[in-house]
Amino acid sequence: MAVAPTVRRRRLGIELRRLREQLALTVEEIAARLDWSPSKLSRIENARIGARVSDVRLLLELYSVDETHLGELLALAQASIQEGWWRSYSDVLSGKFAAYVALEDEACTALTFTTYSIPGLLQNEEYAHHVLESGRVIAVSTPRQVARRLESRMRRQELLHRKSPLLFSAVIDESVLLRVVGDGGVMRRQMFSLLELAVMPNVQIYILPLNVHRAPVFSDTFTLLEFASSYDVIFPDVVYIDTLSTTGELQDDSITHMYRMSWEALKSVSLPADESILRISRMAEEWARR
């Protein structure tokens, strides 16, 4: 499986392409000047291969980049060749999901909407294990593969607890709180886990009640990732769609804007954060009585 590129590698490719296009030069023209194949430059710009720092320097000198920006981009080039932690899980993470994990790992904000389970970053280990086990109904997985996927999911959750944590806001359909995963004990403990996470300053949870009209009507789970400027390079928002038949990322501005507006619309008809916590607390009590 191809290794999912880091956001740093993608940032570098985007900026190198921008600098070339700013000079109205083609891939073929630059490749000829450096005695490269056009495919090499194209793959660097599209983050399909890593770029050696020496090659990046040659490009930047050719583009007459000023010293300040040159230093930023050389630092980015050095950082971009570092492998992401998810590479060690390439045996159990699909190419598209590994690409998402790479994006998520460097995002500053995530806005998610889910209709079928607690968001992965908010699942406790027990609940996550049952979710991953249920996937064996439609895809053959060995117990070892399930354990590896569970390990990678727990590793992803470190994003919420690092020094500069991911700002995570989730709209969760109320049906998710009612749907049995494992048994009543599993659900009760997951509700308590949500309550613990909901008081973290970087986590916001909103419950979308079943008794309100929602527009737009979405059945798909999606996550919108936002990225801070880094190394003086802007990286566009990404929306990730996750369904049984469709999985992948979209970066088109008009599409990400549509999903942002959709998420805001869903949040507007959800319970406020404090009322959502009360709803989760009541559900914990309900599961305790079952």
What token pair was written down for 119?
Answer: 């968001």
Please identify which residue in the block is written with the tokens 């439609």.
Answer: 138
Per residue in 134-160, pLDDT tens?
Answer: 876 556 688 899 999 999 999 999 999
Residues 6+ apart with CB under 8 A from 39: none
Q: Evaluate if residue 49 carries a pLDDT over 80.
A: yes
Per-residue pLDDT averaged across 202-211, rounded?
A: 96
The angle subtended at Cα 161 by Cα 156 and Cα 164, nearest 5°, is 105
Mean pLDDT over each residue of the chain, to the nearest integer = 91
SS3 38: helix
Per residue in 108-135, pLDDT tens?
Answer: 999 999 999 999 999 999 999 999 998 7
Per-residue pLDDT averaged across 93-114, rounded?
A: 92
Distance CA 140, CA 156 (A): 23
Distance CA 136, CA 227 (A): 34
What token pair was written down for 10?
Answer: 């993608």
- Asked if residues 271 and 209 have their Cβ atoms less than 8 Å apart, the reply is yes
Hey, what domains does the chain have and what are their CATH numbers?
7-80 (1.10.260.40), 94-119+158-289 (3.30.870.10)
Q: How far is CA 2 from CA 14, 33, 94, 241, 282, in A?
A: 20, 30, 10, 20, 45
The pTM of this model reads 0.88
Range scoring the smallest mean pLDDT among 12-16, 103-107, 212-216, 281-285: 212-216
